[in-house]
A and B are shown apart, each in its own frame.
Chain A
Amino acid sequence: MLSINNLHVAVDDKAILKGVDLTVKAGEVHAIMGPNGSGKSTLCHVLAGRPGYQVTQGGVDYQGADLLALEPEIRAREGLFLAFQYPVEIPGISNLYFLKAAINARRKHEGKGPMPAVAFLRMVREKAACVELDEGLLNRSLNVGFSGGEKKRNEIFQMLVLEPTLALLDETDSGLDIDALRVVAEGVNKLRSEGRAILLVTHYQRLLDYIVPDYVHVLAGGRIVRSGDKDLAHKLEAEGYGWIENEAST
């Protein structure tokens, strides 16, 4: 589904990613861990198409298409979803209205008409209940006045509504208390299916107690320096990143 080949990315001429290789197949959950500043968020943003990043080498294939050549909104309509580390606030647009615009943009892309209002409302209520999102938040302006935990729940809620093919979660666990973490993890687990892939970026092993990944990768110094299964995450939790960085530099 996703194939990242020798990806080099710079921001303001400073190299951040220095040759990332990663293949993600449908049905898999991959976790990307790594120390601060290793390029984890950069990887998510480049895949989603955020402006301000220069791809200097390499490429990304997504379902047979050159992902990096697509506009961000086209990537989204093709099923790529990014749960933001810092979701933005948009005053004046209700959560519900925003989601409807998003769903209908995707349906239009697929050659379908707008979703009927009744079906939309029913579906939205159901998904909101999944992540224990207060229904009152649906009619509030997007993320405006939401607590940190509500914003993250709202991201997972949007993900469930939009049913992405490839979901990228950028440190969705950061700043969450243990209850919120469980709710978010349940949301992600609901999404797990044969046709979908999930890429989790996280600092801590904690999230992986709830969402058990098929693969764990360590991103350090702009490269994936080690890959393994969930045991690698436990080892990182116990021993830190130092030993890997040492191995990588020798």
Chain B
Amino acid sequence: MSGNQLVKAIAAQDYKYGFVTDIESDTLPPGLDEGVIRFISAKKNEPQWLLDSRLKAFARWKTMKEPDWAYLNIAPIDYQSISYYSAPKSIKKLGSLDEVDPKLLETYDKLGIPLLEQKRLANVAVDAVFDSVSVGTTFKDTLAEAGVIFCPISEAVQSHPELVKKYLGSVVPAQDNFFSALNAAVFTDGSFVYIPEGVTSPMELSTYFRINERNTGQFERTLIIAEAGSYVSYLEGCTAPERDENQLHAAVVELVVFDDAEIKYSTVQNWYPGDEEGIGGIYNFVTKRGACRGARSKISWTQVETGSAITWKYPSCVLIGDDSVGEFYSVALTNRRQQADTGTKMIHIGKNTRSTIISKGISAGRGVQCYRGLVDIKKSAVGARNFSQCDSLLIGDECGAHTFPYLEIKNPRAQVEHEATTSRISEDQLFFCQQRGIGVEEAVGIIVSGFWKDVFKELPMEFAAEATQLMAVSLEGTVG
């Protein structure tokens, strides 16, 4: 098989989550104005302060422009052609998960996320978000016993308004950027996690996001608070049906960590990537940021990004507390005509703060990928240290990879290291493997897994298998 055939075979991968659930939905007609925001707020029975904050964000958003500095080619987005709210009609106040519409349960089963008690993943609590609403959260009672709050954010607004009010927008303010302002105005649902002081969450927490309805955007909002001495590992997964139009997903995730606490946040993102010609797919424009407010606190971002037509995403850490630690481990795969501009920001403020960045980019087909990272060491960050490693792997000769590292160092006693490599899976390598009896598909697999194993080992055990499968699916079919 020639290199070209190989590339075509890889690029022609089927997306396995592209089905549509036929379910009746309450969907707002496309368009965005104050009325839409008031509708969303009223639908969720929100207090006045939250409505006010949405309206303020909306007013701000109208004065802002989309960022144009990323290495991305984005067709103009008509924000008036998007519907900002869609929910399955059958969603009501539910007493238990057993009352969830069977069609929804079936959808999550098909996605490999069983919600019903008897089939659940052992030791993982799941919150499932379907279009604009949460359809169910598992293991709520077990978590409550430990004092852990894990619920849809719309529910947290009702049940824990003081926590939401205190922390929402405290890490990513609405005016931070164009998409965070839009999200602050129209966010619909997402997960809320609160881990009390000294508590280690008894299980992994997970949110599963699914876009189903046509022409809708998904604007979820996630807020995780880890009080002093607590620990939680959280994972999000994402899929969407195959459609010819682009759909917008503009999420905001905020993490707050106090003294000696740790949040491990993992993402397996597999939104619909569009077809081989770049028609359709999700625009994934996400702002994720965590604040290490306490001494010796720690935030670890791990992401496996295989989906979306366009990804614009920089999970970041603001290292305020002395001796706090920020980590970013990323594997991103761009195939077909996918584009990704992704990386991280590590902002060192406290003394002896440390950060590690390991980014592995794999480009195949006609995918284009950029690593963009900022290491910002403020004057106060005496003894700060950073290590960054950014590696790119190219499969075929029609894809691209770029690296844009930014270093701003204001403290002379800081240590910063940056390493970068670019390599290509060559026809010669594949033939060599074949000559030893290893088929092309397996050969690509082992070369890729050799490439991304540093990041892979950071994934929570329960999801390591899922992520491996996802990578295999995204790369399989290389034997034409």
Partner pick for A90 among B1, B440, B447, B453, CB 8 A cutoff: B447
Task: Let me know if A88 and B434 touch, CB within 8 A.
Answer: no
- CB contacts under 8 Å to B, within A82-115, are 82, 84, 87-88, 90-93, 97-98, 101-102, 105-106, 109
A244-B202 Cα distance, complex, nearest whole Å: 82
- Confirm or deny: B435 has a beta carbon within 8 angstroms of a beta carbon on chain A: yes
- Residues from chain A with a CB closer than 8 A to the CB of B453 are 92
- Confirm or deny: B66 has a beta carbon within 8 angstroms of a beta carbon on chain A: no
- CB contacts under 8 Å to B, within A168-197, are none
- Confirm or deny: A52 has a beta carbon within 8 angstroms of a beta carbon on chain B: yes
- Confirm or deny: B29 has a beta carbon within 8 angstroms of a beta carbon on chain A: no
Task: Let me know if A93 and B446 touch, CB within 8 A.
Answer: yes
Partner pick for A106 among B437, B447, B449, CB 8 A cutoff: B437
- CB contacts under 8 Å to B, within A42-73, are 48-52, 71-73
A98 and B451 in contact, given A52-B2, A76-B434, A82-B435 (Cβ under 8 angstroms):
no
- Residues from chain B with a CB closer than 8 A to the CB of A76 are 434-437
- Confirm or deny: B17 has a beta carbon within 8 angstroms of a beta carbon on chain A: no
Task: Let me know if A92 and B434 touch, CB within 8 A.
Answer: no
Task: Let me know if A48 and B436 touch, CB within 8 A.
Answer: no
Task: Let me know if B438 and A91 touch, CB within 8 A.
Answer: no
A73 and B429 in contact, given A92-B447, A105-B442 (Cβ under 8 angstroms):
no
- CB contacts under 8 Å to B, within A112-168, are 141, 158, 162
- Confirm or deny: B398 has a beta carbon within 8 angstroms of a beta carbon on chain A: no
Interface segment out of the listed B172-180, B250-258, B420-428? B420-428
Task: Let me know if A91 and B451 touch, CB within 8 A.
Answer: yes
Task: Let me know if B437 and A102 touch, CB within 8 A.
Answer: yes
A141 and B450 in contact, given A72-B434, A76-B436, A101-B438 (Cβ under 8 angstroms):
yes
A22-B453 Cα distance, complex, nearest whole Å: 46
**Closest A residue by C-beta to B421:** A91
A141-B434 Cα distance, complex, nearest whole Å: 18
Q: Shortest beta-carbon distance, A238 to chain B, in Å?
A: 35
Q: Shortest beta-carbon distance, B449 to chain A, in Å?
A: 8
Q: Shortest beta-carbon distance, B361 to chain A, in Å?
A: 14
- Confirm or deny: A18 has a beta carbon within 8 angstroms of a beta carbon on chain B: no
Task: Let me know if A97 and B446 touch, CB within 8 A.
Answer: yes
- Residues from chain B with a CB closer than 8 A to the CB of A223 are none
Q: How many residues of B contact A (CB 8 A)?
A: 24
Task: Let me know if A51 and B435 touch, CB within 8 A.
Answer: no
- Confirm or deny: B387 has a beta carbon within 8 angstroms of a beta carbon on chain A: no
Q: Shortest beta-carbon distance, A84 to chain B, in Å?
A: 7
- CB contacts under 8 Å to A, within B254-272, are none
A73 and B434 in contact, given A88-B426, A105-B439 (Cβ under 8 angstroms):
yes
A73 and B437 in contact, given A92-B447, A92-B451, A93-B446 (Cβ under 8 angstroms):
yes
A20-B2 Cα distance, complex, nearest whole Å: 25
- Residues from chain A with a CB closer than 8 A to the CB of B431 are 50-51, 72
A90 and B450 in contact, given A49-B434, A51-B431 (Cβ under 8 angstroms):
yes
- Confirm or deny: B432 has a beta carbon within 8 angstroms of a beta carbon on chain A: yes
Task: Let me know if B442 and A91 touch, CB within 8 A.
Answer: no
A97-B439 Cα distance, complex, nearest whole Å: 15
- Residues from chain B with a CB closer than 8 A to the CB of A109 are 437
Task: Let me know if B437 and A88 touch, CB within 8 A.
Answer: no
- Residues from chain B with a CB closer than 8 A to the CB of A203 are none
- Residues from chain B with a CB closer than 8 A to the CB of A49 are 434-435
- Confirm or deny: A77 has a beta carbon within 8 angstroms of a beta carbon on chain B: yes
- Residues from chain A with a CB closer than 8 A to the CB of B449 are 92
**Closest A residue by C-beta to B445:** A101
**Closest B residue by C-beta to A107:** B437
- Residues from chain A with a CB closer than 8 A to the CB of B437 are 73, 76-77, 102, 105-106, 109, 162
A210-B328 Cα distance, complex, nearest whole Å: 55
- Residues from chain A with a CB closer than 8 A to the CB of B429 are 88, 90
Task: Let me know if A51 and B439 touch, CB within 8 A.
Answer: no
Task: Let me know if A71 and B436 touch, CB within 8 A.
Answer: no
**Closest B residue by C-beta to A83:** B435
- Residues from chain A with a CB closer than 8 A to the CB of B434 are 49, 71-73, 76
Task: Let me know if A93 and B450 touch, CB within 8 A.
Answer: yes
- Residues from chain A with a CB closer than 8 A to the CB of B451 are 91-92
Partner pick for B436 among A50, A52, A98, A141, CB 8 A cutoff: A98
- Residues from chain A with a CB closer than 8 A to the CB of B428 are 88
**Closest B residue by C-beta to A89:** B429
A81-B439 Cα distance, complex, nearest whole Å: 15
- Residues from chain B with a CB closer than 8 A to the CB of A158 are 436
Task: Let me know if A88 and B432 touch, CB within 8 A.
Answer: yes
Q: Shortest beta-carbon distance, A127 to chain B, in Å?
A: 15
- Residues from chain B with a CB closer than 8 A to the CB of A52 are 2
Q: Shortest beta-carbon distance, B383 to chain A, in Å?
A: 33
Q: Shortest beta-carbon distance, A4 to chain B, in Å?
A: 18
**Closest B residue by C-beta to A82:** B435
- Residues from chain A with a CB closer than 8 A to the CB of B440 are 73
Q: Shortest beta-carbon distance, A157 to chain B, in Å?
A: 12
**Closest B residue by C-beta to A75:** B435
Digitize A213-247: 1 where CB-to-B-CB distance is under 8 Å, 0 elsewhere: 00000000000000000000000000000000000
Closest 3 CB pairs of A and B: A92-B450, A76-B437, A102-B436
Residues of A within 8 A of B (CB): 48-52, 71-73, 76-77, 81-82, 84, 87-88, 90-93, 97-98, 101-102, 105-106, 109, 141, 158, 162
Of the A-B pairs whose beta carbons lie under 8 Å apart in the complex, a sample of 29, sorted by A's number, is: A49-B434, A50-B431, A52-B2, A71-B434, A72-B431, A76-B434, A76-B437, A81-B435, A82-B435, A84-B432, A84-B435, A88-B426, A90-B429, A90-B447, A92-B447, A92-B449, A92-B451, A92-B453, A93-B446, A101-B436, A101-B442, A101-B446, A102-B436, A102-B437, A102-B438, A105-B439, A109-B437, A158-B436, A162-B437
13 more A-B residue pairs beyond the given contacts A51-B427, A76-B434, A88-B428, with a C-beta to C-beta distance below 8 A: A52-B2, A72-B434, A72-B435, A82-B435, A90-B429, A90-B433, A91-B423, A98-B433, A101-B436, A101-B442, A105-B436, A158-B436, A162-B436
